[in-house]
């Protein structure tokens, strides 16, 4: 990857991340409150659906930029070493590495954002101060492991499926896809990935919102999943799946479509 391609991935990824996070923020708030242990209405219901948006605004650009720079760099590195049959596995590896790096930026903003969404009476700055005072800097990374373990399976489904759908459409069309066509592929891939990984998203939400010192806050995903299943059943494991699928399908359309558009403009 040369310098121009690196810059294009950085800027396109960051712009795409900001577009989707700010446009669809209310849906994300509703999903978080549906998954909250205290219940939807106690967590705020439909009030203050933009609570936590400053945290999302600050974190979305570096988070998405880090993902795409890592994703495209890994694809580029392995391009000359793998056969066509191994291409999906290259995409899986690239997406997994991208998520690990991106979560270094995503998790602190996600912690502050979700706690603000579940406590709309507090503002983003107050939630950040409370987190640092009660848990220190490590508190901002609570749920890092559960977030990575949610994002990697998600990306293992979404990105190979996105690349596959684009390749199929390319072959049938007989030429390069427009940005809106890449966006449609992104919406389909994102919707499928969102639904199958909803239980991991529920576990991540419970861990991030749990009080410090509780068993849930320890971040043991199998234990938290069992706790959710025992207290709320299968429906609890898929709580918020409808807004999550809606959010990520629409987000996939905007995110991957915007990424393709901006990247092609810069190259």
**Number of residues assigned to the chain:** 267
CA dihedral 207, 141, 199, 45 (to 10 degrees): 60
Cα angle 252-233-242, degrees, rounded to a multiple of 5: 25
CA dihedral 139, 145, 147, 148 (to 10 degrees): 140
> What's the Rg (C-alpha) of the chain?
18
Tens place of pLDDT for every residue, the chain, 267 residues?
Answer: 788 888 999 999 999 999 888 888 898 888 888 888 788 888 888 888 888 888 888 888 999 999 999 999 998 888 777 667 778 888 889 989 999 999 999 999 989 998 898 888 888 899 999 999 999 989 999 888 888 887 888 888 888 899 899 999 999 988 888 888 989 999 999 999 999 999 988 988 888 888 877 878 877 888 889 999 999 999 999 988 898 898 889 888 988 888 888 988 888
End-to-end CA, the chain: 12
d(CA 204, CA 17): 20
CA 32 to chain centre: 13
Q: What SS3 state is found at 123?
A: coil
Report the pLDDT value the prediction gives residue 243, as an integer from 0 to 100: 86
Cβ atoms of residues 232 and 181 within 8 Å: no
Report the pLDDT value the prediction gives residue 83, as an integer from 0 to 100: 65
Cβ atoms of residues 199 and 237 within 8 Å: yes
The phi and psi torsions of 202 (rounded to 5 degrees) equal -60, -45
């Amino acid at each position: 990857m040369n310098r121009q391609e690196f810059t294009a991935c950085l800027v396109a990824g960051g712009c795409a991340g900001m577009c989707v996070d700010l446009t669809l923020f209310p849906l994300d708030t509703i999903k978080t409150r549906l998954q909250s242990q205290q219940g939807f209405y106690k967590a705020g219901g439909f009030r203050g659906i933009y609570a936590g948006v400053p945290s999302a605004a600050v974190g979305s650009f570096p988070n998405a930029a880090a993902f795409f720079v890592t994703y495209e760099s890994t694809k580029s590195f392995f391009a000359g070493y793998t056969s066509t049959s191994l291409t999906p596995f290259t995409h899986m590896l690239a997406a997994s590495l991208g998520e690990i790096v991106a979560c270094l930026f995503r998790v602190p903003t996600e912690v502050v954002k979700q706690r603000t969404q579940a406590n709309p009476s507090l503002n983003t700055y107050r939630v950040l101060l409370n987190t640092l005072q009660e848990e220190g800097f490590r508190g901002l990374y609570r749920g890092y492991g559960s977030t990575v373990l949610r994002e990697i399976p998600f990306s293992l489904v979404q990105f190979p499926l996105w690349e596959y759908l684009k390749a199929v459409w390319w072959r049938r069309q007989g030429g390069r896809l427009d940005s809106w066509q890449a966006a449609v592929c992104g919406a389909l891939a994102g919707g499928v990935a969102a639904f199958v990984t909803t239980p991991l998203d529920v576990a991540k939400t419970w861990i991030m919102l749990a009080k410090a010192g509780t068993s849930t806050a320890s971040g043991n995903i199998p234990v938290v999943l069992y706790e959710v299943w025992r207290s709320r059943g299968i429906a609890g494991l898929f709580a918020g799946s409808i807004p999550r699928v809606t959010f990520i399908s629409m987000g996939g359309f905007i995110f991957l479509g915007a990424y393709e558009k901006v990247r092609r403009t810069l190259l």
